[in-house]
Chain A
């Protein structure tokens, strides 16, 4: 290959008036963008290597650095824009599929932002959560159709196992391997402190984290990495991962370079071996097969733990969810197309799956129509960005939400979409010891606790505004939502009225 046609995506702007040649940027950039020239006493940058992760920008003591989109402009063309052209350059040079990380960045409609919440005025009083009790605790799991009591008023109905959450938020599955041990520690400790749960992802559970079992969901995915009896019994629930919103229909591939001693021991695979998660579970080709795995896991854990099934939001999601409910799952996780990932083929990430808001509304409606909504909890995943997204999700029918990207952003992720390179400058999506230590779990866990405490407070404020004092009273209460700028079909699927109606 003679000359690369790929142009730098970003340019590093250094204000020479402010630069003191302290070389913090040089030491901190894992992509080796910055270099110090001793002869001229100047710090220089190689724009082509920059991924715009902001590590240097944030750490520069004089704030001398700015990263801009490269101002190199192709001739205006709405169809053949710079991105489309550069992607062709890359594939023409490499011959490989394009890889991306995190969630779908394309400008598809964000329905959260086209729905508005109700509030009480005059005829029903709003509630001040600082003065009056407000409940945000939720239970995830199968609920009995009815409750029966004996003559003394004692409950005789057996309640299936539940996950108790202090707020309707959980940390979504991110495997040890895709993210660092320090990131996992931060999530586990925050979950413990907040009284919620985090999820191991498909990479097994590190031996140091068994002590957070009461706040852990263990995942069983198609690769079956790190699955053994102690693992299944370690958490409060078991999640079967059938699909992932970022890459529906696609498996996973953790490159061998990230499989060091610790990851190897946790995943139970050789050091340096690629960890391939097949696209399907090779023992699941029907709802009946899924049912068999659900009950195998329940049998193995003596029916003491709820079994959750996670699927990506795709075309027939409502029918699929109905099948999963009937297969015996205690909760269904629906992961929308904006959900994040450590690595996915770009074309899949950007073009496969459907918006979570529509999928969630469709699933909740279908299960209610079939009279089986009580048999499963619904967890909404795939780019829940803030507390109002959560309130809207619950009003659309979710029992709780999963947050992944938001949690990573809280601990430093700057959404540079470069997780797959393994050179995360923030110590999150990397296994390089020198980079991992950049994420101090003591600081990171506190940030997660802060974020979710704030969100829980905001949820209470919004509930209070609607005159509701328990999150359970909001669930599926779509009258609390109104659409703006949506067509009739969208409103019908969401099951909400247009603003003004």
Chain B
């Protein structure tokens, strides 16, 4: 199964992956409207090491674990692993208990900032569009969609 891999040696920490992740998961699909009118939590986050004067960056998002703890912890059945191995979250079923946020060993599941309804936000590999928006728009090829064998 292909996942998004982050290559720290190429990551600039520019944050464009976050911008395009939010836009891809917005209703409008327009960058400016997404930022102005929709309150979306990016499923990919640039982590800085040696803050505040960061020297190393890497982009962090869901690893789509083989044995996902978030799925086990989910109390409503919203989180599940589909037949392709992608860990998905059904928004309608999510009750916002944040158990998945608590158990994710990578900190890759986030609470949505949406004030209307507390649910979670995580990487869905942009299944609808084909290529993840973060991979497509990374200016330095620091994010790649690969399967485990390609990485090796």
Interface size of A by CB at 8 A reads: 19
Query: Which residue of B is nearest A443, CB measured?
Result: B141
Q: Is the CB of A22 within 8 A of B141?
A: no
Q: How far is the CA of A28 from the CA of B140 in the complex (A)?
A: 13
Measured between C-beta atoms, what is the minimum distance from B6 to chain A in Å? 13
Residue A61 at the chain B interface, CB threshold 8 Å = yes
Q: How far is the CA of A20 from the CA of B37 in the complex (A)?
A: 11
Q: Is the CB–CB distance between B20 and A61 below 8 Å?
A: yes
The answer to whether A61 and B19 have CB atoms under 8 Å apart is yes
- Which residue in A18, A20, A27, A62 is a CB contact (below 8 Å) of B14? A27
Measured in the bound complex, the distance between the Cα atoms of B81 and A361 in whole Å is 71
B10: contacting residue among A18, A22, A433, A437, CB under 8 A: A437
Interface segment, one of B28-36, B83-91, B116-124 = B28-36
A27 contacts B15, C-beta separation under 8 Å: yes
Contact, CB under 8 Å: A24 / B14: yes
Residue pair B9, A20 in contact (C-beta under 8 Å): no
Is A40 positioned at the interface, with any CB of B under 8 Å from its CB?
no
- Chain B residues within 8 Å of A24, by CB: 14-16, 19
In the complex, which residues of chain B have a beta carbon less than 8 angstroms from the beta carbon of A211? none
Interface pair A18/B32, CB less than 8 Å apart? yes
CA A59 – CA B14 in complex, angstroms?
8
Could you say which residues of chain B place their CB within 8 Å of the CB of A23? 15
Residues of A near B31 (CB, < 8 A) are 20, 61-62
Give the secondary structure class of B's interface: loop
CA distance A456 to B137 in the complex (A): 30
CB neighbours of B32 from chain A (8 A)? 17-18, 20, 62
For A76, the chain B residues whose CB sits under 8 A away are none
Assuming the A-B contacts A20-B31, A61-B20, A442-B141, are A437 and B12 also in contact, with contact meaning beta carbons closer than 8 angstroms in the complex?
Answer: yes
Assuming the contacts A28-B14, A443-B141, asked whether A22 and B19 have C-beta atoms less than 8 A apart, the reply is yes
Q: How far is the CB of B114 from chain A (nearest CB, A)?
A: 18
Chain B CB within 8 A of A351 CB: no
Chain B 115-152 against A: per-residue CB contact (8 Å), 1 yes, 0 no? Answer: 00000000000000000000001011110000000000
Q: Chain B residues near A369: list those with CB within 8 A.
A: none
Residues in chain B near residue A368, CB distance under 8 A: none
Known contacts: A22-B15, A24-B19. The answer to whether A434 contacts B55 by CB under 8 A is yes
Q: B68 interface residue, CB < 8 Å from A?
A: no
Give min CB distance, B123 to chain A, whole Å.
19
Which chain B residues (1-42) contact chain A, with CB distance < 8 Å? Answer: 9-16, 18-20, 31-32, 34-36
Given contacts A20-B35, A24-B15, A438-B140, could you give 18 more A-B pairs where the C-beta distance is less than 8 Å? A20-B19, A20-B32, A20-B36, A22-B19, A23-B15, A24-B14, A27-B13, A28-B14, A59-B14, A59-B16, A61-B16, A61-B20, A437-B11, A437-B12, A437-B140, A440-B140, A440-B142, A442-B141
30 contacts between A and B (CB under 8 A): A18-B32, A20-B19, A20-B32, A20-B35, A20-B36, A22-B18, A22-B19, A22-B35, A23-B15, A24-B14, A24-B16, A24-B19, A27-B13, A27-B15, A28-B12, A28-B14, A59-B14, A61-B16, A61-B19, A61-B20, A61-B31, A62-B32, A433-B55, A437-B11, A437-B12, A437-B140, A438-B140, A440-B140, A443-B140, A443-B141
